[in-house]
Amino acid sequence: MKTVIINRFSPERAQYEEWLQDVEGEFIMVTKSDKVQRFSSFYSNTIGFPNFSLNDNVYKFISDMHKESNIDFIIATHEFDLLKAARLREHLKVTGQHGESARAFRDKVYMKQLVQNSIRIPKFRKIHDVMDLISFIEENDYPIVIKPIDGAGSVDVQIIRGQQQLLPILETGLEANLEVEEYIEGEMYHVDGIFSGSQLLLSRPSRYINGCMAFHEDKYLGSLLLQPGELFDRLNNAVESVLRALPTPDHAISFHAEFFLTNSDEIVLCEIASRVGGGDIVETIDFATGVNILRESVRAQCGASINCTPSQDRLAGWLLIPARNGVLKSIHTQPPFEWVLNCTVKPEHIGKTFDQASSSVDSVATLLVEGKDENQLQLRLNEVYEWMQNHIVWEQVSDQTLVVS
């Protein structure tokens, strides 16, 4: 068996060697050129590519490799690799998620078309040109949301509340590949887990804190797991309905779904992806259930057995400390709270110049917190956020004035 892994994650986050050590066969790692030295001799070959996020030589290389010796499986875990990897599998006649399935989870317009009879969705329209946008506003009024059809991390998502906000956007011309939606008032939730065939193997709903657009307002993004109850069940039922309406591969997939809970207590789908969520979602579910959904999705993609049976039942939450304008001079990584399970800071961030957060998961630190219930988790996340803010030193680039915040 020959498996190619298309990887963007660090070895600490995606521990393929540990997860696949019992699987017989040859594994080939294709990754960023600056990460090559960080992977072990577990792989028969490790190939690095510069400018990985845009470098289509990745796929040409894999296609040429298949001509020399057939590839049995292709593993892809990152949002921006899923569609190309799916189309490559199709081209090479390799089993796994193919183009139609990947498109259903990436193309937000196509996604809504497929699920609109299974769950309430926002009114929406694909923007071919400005007239689509103008007619949508005339029919539905403000506020509206303009977003990329295949975006992630809330990058380039814009909430437009009136003509005054719209005109500057139109002045420079609309980007390609956009859609417009009605704005949904309410709280946002996410549901994460593993799905196979027509059933949820594992599913855990969470409530976002501050929401995915928090980085625009210099607030932290976080979330906490819900306790079992009515809303817990309703969100699981909602995500199951959505997944059953979408084309999924023969193997199990991880999923990350986002829902609005409106002020009238109605669940509305925002979007869903066939991959794990960002932030510390994987780590939170792992702590709470004993199941690492990234591990299980990786194993499923190469035909290995998976185990999604929870071995524990705990609650946890996470938060991201957003970047600010300036140079990150120092940051404490050991908050004095026994309930902080982990604080992650990338060493390369120290001394780096930031221009605020540009996506919902752009951060200088990630913290994982445990608690006995949702209320305690909310209080603890707020408390550790304030502590972290008081123990970060930023240097303003403009006047080199030190700012402790």
Q: Worst-scoring range by mean pLDDT, 80-94, 124-138, 214-228, 268-282?
A: 214-228
The mean pLDDT of 184-192, rounded to a whole number, is 97
Q: 211 to each of 35, 84, 208, 269, how far by Cα in Å? A: 32, 29, 5, 15
Q: How confident is residue 381, by pLDDT bands cut at 50, 70 and 90?
A: very high
Contact 142, 160 (CB under 8 A): yes
Tokens of 268: 């509305």
Backbone angles phi, psi at 144, to 5 degrees: -130, 165
Q: Worst-scoring range by mean pLDDT, 11-15, 17-21, 202-206, 255-259?
A: 11-15
Does residue 209 have a pLDDT over 80? yes
The mean pLDDT of 94-111, rounded to a whole number, is 97
Q: Which residue from 39, 38, 1 is spatially nearest to 17, judged by alpha carbons?
A: 39
Check residue 403 and give its pLDDT: 47
The mean pLDDT of 342-349, rounded to a whole number, is 85
Check residue 212 and give its pLDDT: 53
Tell me what the pLDDT averaged over the chain comes to. 92
Enumerate domains of the chain plus CATH numbers: 2-95 (3.40.50.20), 123-182 (3.30.1490.20), 186-395 (3.30.470.20)
Backbone angles phi, psi at 2, to 5 degrees: -125, 120
What is the C-alpha to C-alpha distance for residues 129 and 133, in angstroms, rounded to an integer?
7
Q: Is 277 exposed, middle or buried (0-12, 13-18, 19+ CB in 10 A)?
A: buried
Does residue 123 have a pLDDT over 90? yes
Check residue 348 and give its pLDDT: 80
What is the C-alpha to C-alpha distance for residues 360 and 343, in angstroms, rounded to an integer?
18
User: Cα angle vertex 319, ends 314, 321, to 5°?
Assistant: 160
The mean pLDDT of 388-392, rounded to a whole number, is 90
What number of other Cβ atoms are within 10 A of residue 18's Cβ? 11
Model pTM score:
0.92
| Cα dihedral 345→349→350→356 (10° resolution) | -110
Top-confidence residue, 27 or 215: 27
Q: Which residue from 114, 108, 106, 65 is spatially nearest to 86, judged by alpha carbons?
A: 106
Which residues are CB-neighbours of 79 under 8 A, at least 6 positions away? 106, 152, 273, 275
The mean pLDDT of 258-277, rounded to a whole number, is 97
What number of other Cβ atoms are within 10 A of residue 126's Cβ? 17
Does residue 11 have a pLDDT over 90? no
Tokens of 233: 């069940």
Amino acid at residue number 11: P
State the chain's maximal CA–CA distance in angstroms. Answer: 61
The mean pLDDT of 115-134, rounded to a whole number, is 97
Check residue 279 and give its pLDDT: 92
Contact 394, 385 (CB under 8 A): no
Backbone angles phi, psi at 306, to 5 degrees: -125, 160
The mean pLDDT of 305-327, rounded to a whole number, is 94
